[in-house]
Amino acid sequence: MTTVFVSHPKDKLAQYFGANATRALQAIAEARFNPEPRELSTSELVAAAQGCTALIAYRQTPGPESLFRELPELAAFIRCAVDIRSVDVDAASAHGVLVTQASAGYVPAVSEWIVAAMIDLARGISRYAEAYHRSLPVATSMGRELRGATLGVIGYGQIGRYLCELATAFAMQVLVTTPRPVTPRPGLRQVPLETLLAASDFVVCLAPANAETENMMNASAFATMKPGSFFINAARGELVDDIALLGALDSGHLAGCAIDVGRAPDQMPTPALARHPHVIAAPHIGGLTPPAIEHQALETVAQLAALLKGEIPQGAVNAAHATRLRKRAVT
């Protein structure tokens, strides 16, 4: 029977893998689990995963060259997440290890979090709740409606498209900026980034994180945004210049910000931003719902099941270089 190591920290397994996926995995393979309530170092992971044919990797588990070199029986590195930027795919290919990634099962969850954040920013719900919790005097202010407001969406992938559908249901006007053409429809227009920033009441960053998009939301971008508008980041922390964002908040140019990602470890918001009085910060939980987590966890099990049948699974990123699979069947 195939032996698989699951690298999720012990205290994250229930939330980020789940009982259903665990049972499904144990039905087709001998499963070993990370015994520690923390991420294992690479050397610890190498020791723990000796003899394993596959590794189901937690979203923060890196895949450096040494991991593939020092685990000669490892045939597949199965990421239980979409993001594989911490995996050295070239090194995996050189050693003949298949790398896979999960698809985005968190589209509705993240989109709903963004809508909730927009409503909170516009109506001050969490601010009022915090004042009442602390028995402080409550000073009311005029709120804003989503209806009739303009939403600017940077990036038009799966989350962007789903979010735009929700926004039009709220009777918002939607602007999108993305490199590929977007089919126009009522309530939605594709515009250049500068136009989107200047015209939007809410700007949501959903662009992919890469060398071209790093710090795309910088001082110039925030200065271009409409005075009194709101910024929301639910993509990756690397897209935003934190110092520039703090400056735009401190000056009052932006009325507020909501972030579910940041430059702290595990994509958490940095403390300097999270404690700002005009920031709603969440600890990277936009996609933390049972359907979203189970989607990706069960998908990793399905990828392993395909390998057991001698098939290359959906989500494989370097199938042509998976020589260890060809040298020894995954059984």
pLDDT tens for 153-192 read: 999 999 999 999 999 999 999 999 999 999 888 999 999 9
The gap from C-alpha 294 to its chain's centroid, in whole angstroms, comes to: 15
Task: Answer yes or no: same fold for 3-105+289-327 and 107-281.
Answer: yes
Distances (CA, A) of 186 to 74, 115, 148, 163, 189: 51, 20, 13, 15, 8
Rg of the chain on CA atoms, in Å:
22
pLDDT at 1 over 80: no
pLDDT tens per residue, range 257-291:
999 999 998 899 999 999 999 999 999 999 999 99
Q: What is the pLDDT of residue 156?
A: 96
Strand extents, DSSP E, the chain? 3-6, 30-33, 54-57, 76-79, 98-100, 150-154, 173-177, 188-190, 202-205, 229-233, 254-259, 279-281
* pTM for the model: 0.89
Round to whole Å and give the CA distance between 7 and 326.
25
Q: Where are the domains of the chain?
A: 3-105+289-327, 107-281
Q: What does the block give as tokens for 293?
A: 């987590």
Q: What is the pLDDT of residue 266?
A: 85
- The model's confidence at residue 70, banded by pLDDT at 50, 70 and 90, is very high
Q: What is the pLDDT of residue 331?
A: 52
CATH code, residues 3-105+289-327: 3.40.50.720
Distant-in-sequence, close-in-space partners of 282: CB < 8 Å, separation ≥ 6: 113, 117, 258, 259, 260, 269
Q: What is the pLDDT of residue 185?
A: 87
**What topology does CATH give the domain 107-281?**
Rossmann fold (3.40.50)
Percent of the chain's residues with pLDDT above 70: 98
How many degrees, rounded to 5, is the angle at CA 284 between CA 259 and CA 136?
60
- Give me the amino acid identity at 326: R
Q: What is the pLDDT of residue 152?
A: 98
Q: What is the pLDDT of residue 184?
A: 82
pLDDT tens per residue, range 49-63:
999 999 999 999 999
pLDDT at 330 over 80: no
